[in-house]
């Protein structure tokens, strides 16, 4: 039985001087294995560098997912202006996993990117053994587009990667968008 989705969720841009760097570090240290491909964050210094790198990339839109306790997750869209497409990635602190919060956040970001954001296509990929990430993609209106066999090499082991895509003309996610602040 999933936990209820928190009612106080909201989105805001990630900032280079983000006060929630400690929350970013907490999310990485709470699940080192699951977060290993999200970035090299092990301590306060690397968490600060990670935030500065994301927020300082003009082609990358980084959106913080927050509740009353602060930053809990992140959704990023790496824009490809040549193809007017975007690569989507996301993570959530374990305290809010299984609540539907990630699906709502990614759906909100994807809906905006394909309308106001001017993109015509979004895509993402996740390890085949990460079905929750596929659930997020489906919730956000993405369509399965196949499997890259053995695409990721992790600790000497090759992992299949499931690909998902969503076009601007595909149906919207249908979720009530989370509020965007700041
Ligand atoms: C992947 C991750 C973001 C999933 O977060 P989550 O909190 O479980 O996601 P949600 O609770 O929003 O669930 C989204 C959907 O997936 C479904 N789902 C969750 N776990 C599932 C599973 N094991 N199998 C199938 N569907 C699943 C949920 O039911 C939900 O669907 P619904 O809204 O229609 O009910 C989280 O586990 C995480 O941060 N992992 C580490 C980083 C990572 O792997 N990122 C993805 C690669 S970019």
CA of 114 to the centre of ligand 1 (A): 22
CA of 105 to the centre of ligand 1 (A): 11
* Per-residue pLDDT tens digits of the chain, which is 182 residues long: 677 788 899 999 999 999 999 999 999 999 999 998 999 999 999 999 999 999 999 999 999 999 999 999 999 999 999 999 999 999 999 999 999 999 999 999 999 999 999 999 999 999 999 999 999 999 999 999 999 999 999 889 999 999 999 999 999 999 999 999 98
The region, left, alpha or beta by phi > 0 then psi within -120 to 50, assigned to residue 35 is alpha
CA of 38 to the centre of ligand 1 (A): 15
Name which residue sits closest to atom 19 of ligand 1, judged by CA.
132
CA of 82 to the centre of ligand 1 (A): 30
State which ligand 1 atom lies nearest to the alpha carbon of 127: 47
Each residue of 57-84: pLDDT tens digit?
999 999 999 999 999 999 999 999 999 9
- How far is Cα 20 from Cα 93, in angstroms, rounded to an integer? 13
pTM above 0.75, yes or no: yes
Each residue of 30-40: pLDDT tens digit?
999 999 899 99
CATH code of the domain made up of 10-167: 3.40.630.30
Name which residue sits closest to atom 34 of ligand 1, judged by CA.
139
Residue 24, class by beta-carbon neighbours within 10 Å (0-12 exposed, 13-18 middle, 19+ buried)?
A: buried
State which ligand 1 atom lies nearest to the alpha carbon of 105: 12
The two three-digit tokens of residue 22, written as one number: 């400690």
């Amino acid at each position: 039985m999933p936990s209820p989705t928190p009612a106080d969720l909201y989105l805001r841009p990630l900032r280079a001087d983000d006060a929630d760097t400690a929350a970013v570090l907490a999310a990485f240290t709470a699940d080192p294995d699951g977060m290993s491909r999200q970035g090299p964050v092990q301590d306060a210094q690397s968490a600060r560098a990670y935030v500065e790198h994301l927020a300082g990339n003009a082609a990358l839109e980084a959106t913080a997912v927050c509740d009353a306790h602060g930053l809990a997750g992140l959704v990023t869209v790496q824009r490809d202006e040549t193809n007017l497409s975007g690569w989507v990635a996301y993570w959530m602190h374990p305290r809010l996993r299984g609540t539907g919060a990630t699906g709502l956040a990614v759906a909100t970001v994807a809906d905006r990117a394909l309308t106001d954001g001017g993109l015509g296509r979004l895509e993402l990929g996740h390890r085949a053994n990460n079905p929750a990430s596929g659930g997020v993609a489906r919730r956000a209106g993405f369509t399965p587009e196949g499997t890259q066999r053995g695409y990721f090499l992790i600790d000497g082991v090759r992992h299949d990667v499931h690909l998902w895509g969503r076009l601007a003309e595909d149906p919207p996610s249908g979720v009530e968008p989370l509020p965007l602040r700041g």
